[in-house]
Amino acid sequence: MLSIPFKKVHGSKNDFLLIDENEVLNSLNHSKRKQLAQSLCDRTNGIGGDGILFIQKSDHCDGKMEIYNADGTVASMCGNGLRCAGRYIMEKTGKNRVVVETMKVDLTVQQYETEQSVPFIQVEISPVSFDPSSLPMVTDKKRVIGERLPELSNQLSFTAVSVPNPHLLSIVSKEVLFSDQLFQLASYVNGENPYFPDGVNVSFIYPIKAGEIFVRTFERGVGFTNACGTAMSAASIVAILNGLHQYEIPLTVYNPGGFVKTIVHNDNGNLSVDLIGNATYCFEGTVQMDFHTGAFHWLKERSFEEEKDYALLEKRAKEIVDSIR
């Protein structure tokens, strides 16, 4: 049995287990990380979560984050997860601004001053690319922005962008937003299809009013999620491209798990996004894992009071969401 300390954390209710590999006596490899994700993230027989954030040493940054989805697949990035991992790394290093190594790029994370009682963290989301090969997406178009894709829908227009996770997004009506179209579409593009050989995250965007949008996401490797940080970042870009918002101005993005603020920057055509939101600790404990048999048991050792503070923000977001149903 290997003893593994963990924290249960969430960003906008996109929940994860956080495991600091520096505190695990025996080193973990890809196979063990995959087994941990599939076992511990199971919401029926495990602890439950959308994935695991593995914190590792970096040879050139303040820390490294590696993300495994609940199904054992590896994600290149996760904005909500990065806020939680960044907060943890800041606390470990005693800094209020750190650079975190992720699979494709090194990203800045810093504390964000707010009147909220909940800790808010600002993370950098980049690079942004509309090149279909970056998703990857099979198409003869140089980019897909507000395009009809007949294989997917005759009514909806789509934008495909990587941030760097791959996203397919559409601005929809209220009726479409809460219909079963998102599930049907996401299931199709994450199975055998002519456009996305590796699957793609799919989001529907609903404009609430000036400065506010709602995003509902089906996340690749997870399914419907309370929130997806890179999806909310991508949705903010799509909102601007469709004239619903402007660069350099904060946008409030609601989701089923709460809300975040985003600021989209445009530096001579190079886009990046500041994703600002909670990074909440729920509880911590220890897992005893037998990798040979797959058997494990876990113990909750301490709960954090800050989850109660977040519940007030979640209630506010829920009222907004309920108002548009």
Tell which residue, 9, 88, 13, has the closest CA to residue 52.
9
To 5 degrees, how large is the angle CA 241–CA 263–CA 309?
130
Kindly state the helix (H) or strand (E) to which residue 313 belongs, with its residue range: helix 306-323
Annotated binding residue at 201? yes
Q: Which member of 41, 84, 228, 282 is catalytic?
A: 228
Tell which residue, 25, 24, 107, has the closest CA to residue 64.
107
The Cα 300–Cα 8 span in angstroms is 10
Is 228 labeled as catalytic in the residue annotation?
yes
In the chain, DSSP finds a helix count (H) and a strand count (E) of 6, 19
Decide if 137 contacts 166 (C-beta within 8 A). yes
Annotated binding residue at 151? no
Decide if 61 contacts 100 (C-beta within 8 A). yes
Is 78 labeled as catalytic in the residue annotation?
yes
Annotated binding residue at 14? yes
Q: Which member of 41, 78, 84, 282 is catalytic?
A: 78
Annotated binding residue at 79? yes
Annotated binding residue at 87? no
In the structure encoding, which two tokens stand for residue 47, read together?
């602890």
Annotated binding residue at 22? no
Annotated binding residue at 45? no
Annotated binding residue at 69? yes
The Cα 276–Cα 257 span in angstroms is 14
Binding residues for substrate: 14, 69, 79-80, 165, 201, 219-220, 229-230
Binding residues: 14, 69, 79-80, 165, 201, 219-220, 229-230
Active site residues: 78, 228
